[in-house]
Structure 1
Amino acid sequence: MPEPDDGWVYGCQRLRIETVPPFVSSSGQEAAELAASAGLLLDPWQRNCLNVGLGENADGAWSAFEIAINDLGATTRLFAECRDPGGIPATAAAATVTVTLPDGTTATPVTAEVAPLGTYQADYVNTLPGQHTVRRVFTGPVHAYTDTSMSARLPRRLSCRSPMGKST
């Protein structure tokens, strides 16, 4: 049955499964207000993503360095930059991405260098809901990133309002 064309948002506006690092404050409200001042009215799920994605620790640092919302079975493209000790993009002798799943098992998707120099990507297919930890390791120069995570949610239908206020 088609949804009414009344400008209202239908469907679940909160993720059924959500994993969020703890935070004491958030800049999400300010970001939503900035979007509204430009005429972009966010749906509740979008405001929630801003709120948790812009969460801050007590020292003012971000509580999460990345945020991802994915359906099970969807592919997530993971990017990382390799830089030398001076901060200049560099090609690594080897690049490895390891994804630790919520059940403790790991996956190592194929990692390839793409443009621009020093940028690496790996495609990972989500197979479990919950927090996934992503570790990126480069050799020559040595860099390791352990501070990123993503979450996969169970598939569900979500209708969103377009900027014109119509349901899509």
Structure 2
Amino acid sequence: MRAYAEGLVLALISIVAIWGAWQVPAASPGDTWAGIVPFSASIALLFLSGLLLLSAVRQPAGDTGQEQDNGATLQIIGLFIIALIYQQSFRWFGYLLPTAIAAPVVFYFFGVRSWIGLAVSVVLCPLIFHLIFFVLLGVYPPYGEVFDLLSWIQG
């Protein structure tokens, strides 16, 4: 029963996310649609919810699924809180500073304990994401209201 509930909740979240991605305005001619990444992620989430529901259907009636790690739920909630704070901080601090702070936190959260690796992620993640989204895809970076590292670097 739990697998059904999880699959249905995930499907509902993905449908809401697909609707939200469709609310992103269309790209001007020659530009890439800014909603392509959230739309693709939402479709992938819907696919995963379908797989979860399919596995729930195939699960034997007597199997309760208690062998699943209950700590995973806390990790998912923690990651959701980190993502929410990360996304909300764009408004005040632009893109680079929140990414430089969130990247090592998430890497640490997923088990990376190398201080060198975490320090490199502070620089490499914002740089790589900046190149992918703002240079290659042509999406405009969000600028911060309080402080924006990108405008400070550009002068």
Flag the structure with more relative contact order, 1 or 2, with Cα contacts below 8 A and sequence separation at least 6.
Answer: 1
Could you say which structure has the higher helix fraction? 2
Higher strand proportion: 1
| TM-score between the two structures when normalised by the length of structure 2 | 0.27
Query: Normalization by structure 1: what TM-score?
Result: 0.25
